[in-house]
Amino acid sequence: MTKIAITGSGSGIGAATAEALRAAGHQVIGIDIRNADLNADLSTADGRAQAVAGVLARCDGVLDGLVLCAGLGVQVEPPARIVSVNYFGAVELLDGLLPALSKGSKPAAVVVSSVASAHLSWEDNRLAAVLEAGDEAAVAGVLESAGEKRGNFAYAGSKNAVTVAVRKRAVDWGRAGVRLNTVAPGVTETPLLQASLDDPRYSKAVRDFVAPLGRSAKPQEIAAVILFLLSTQAGFVHGAQFFVDGGIDAMMRPTRF
Ligand code: NAI
């Protein structure tokens, strides 16, 4: 049995992943804002430190897998909170738990990014400088400059940055013997999706975002790819992003990959 920590374990993709991992015989440490094995608010530095300390205590400093699923959608106010959870809630857990992962058995980590990570380039990501500097307090000011589109910008900018953060860690993590990858889901039937469909500011754009396969994903379809990336079958997959999006990235950016 292996020990795997997972954020966002209470809902959607995280819940489907936790269920599939438990069914496969893994010991899961679920982390969420409430009703989890470990309750922590990943939108704050204190909550993130509490999550890292709680996982280390529960795994005795040796962790085999990590899945970072917790995230907030475009409609959440204030939008700086989206960035706090989607970006800082991922990178601070990656960095805090790497020492424990490096002692694990065939260890691997997966961060749930989004197809939205490819909606802008790192060079065009106005959040890039403050996020690389770890300056969470400066995020709200940068988002203000995006005006009415700040929800979209907070979401896509934080997802772009978290994918870049994973790729930039490929060398150090590879040397530590820990594989690290992202999955980039497209539209997936979860409460996060429903909340953006229910918000008149975003519902049309979300409805119009139709994949070539002509449907949205079930959370279990994203969980299946996460389980593959954690498994030894993916033993040479490292620093990669897997789009699980029904073909929408290929449709939007056929010449870029
Ligand atoms: P969800 O809303 O069903 O689950 C997200 C989980 O994160 C919830 O359990 C929630 O309580 C937790 N969470 C939120 N804020 C938190 C905080 N401050 N501290 C601790 N936990 C917190 O959403 P879903 O769709 O399962 O999202 C999972 C990941 O997949 C997110 O990172 C999301 O951005 C990403 N994603 C989702 C897509 C979709 O269409 N549903 C598409 C692309 C990416």
The CB density around residue 34, as the number of other CB atoms within 10 Å, is 8
Annotation marks residue 155 as catalytic: yes
Domain that holds residue 144: 3-243
Q: Whose CA is nearest to atom 36 of ligand 1?
A: 114
Q: Let me know: does 102 contact 56? Beta carbons within 8 Å.
A: no
pLDDT value at residue 149: 86
- Whether residue 61 lies inside any domain: the answer is yes
- Whether residue 252 lies inside any domain: the answer is no
- Whether residue 254 lies inside any domain: the answer is no
- Whether residue 256 lies inside any domain: the answer is no
Split into its structural domains, the chain has a count of 1
- Is the predicted ipTM greater than 0.85, yes or no? yes
pLDDT value at residue 1: 65
Q: Let me know: does 78 contact 56? Beta carbons within 8 Å.
A: no
Render pLDDT for 19-78 as a digit per residue (tens, 0 to 9).
Answer: 999 999 999 999 999 999 999 999 999 999 999 999 999 999 999 999 999 999 999 999
User: Domain containing 55 — which CATH number?
Assistant: 3.40.50.720
Q: Let me know: does 180 contact 173? Beta carbons within 8 Å.
A: yes
- Whether residue 151 lies inside any domain: the answer is yes
Q: Which residues have any ligand 1 atom within 6 Å of their CB? A: 8, 10-14, 32-33, 41-43, 69-72, 85-86, 112, 114, 185, 187-188, 190-193
- Which of 37, 52, 69, 76 maximizes ligand 1 atoms within 8 Å of its Cβ, making it the mutation to test the pocket? 69
Q: Ligand 1 centre from 84 Cα, in Å?
A: 13
Catalytic residue among 87, 88, 155, 173: 155
Q: Ligand 1 centre from 72 Cα, in Å?
A: 5
- Whether residue 133 lies inside any domain: the answer is yes
- Whether residue 212 lies inside any domain: the answer is yes
Render pLDDT for 200-237 as a digit per residue (tens, 0 to 9).
Answer: 999 999 999 999 999 999 999 999 999 999 999 999 99
- Whether residue 186 lies inside any domain: the answer is yes
Q: Secondary structure of 97-149 in the HEC alphabet?
A: HHHHHHCCCCCEEEEECCHHHHCCCHHHCCCHHHHHCCCHHHHHHHHHCCHHH
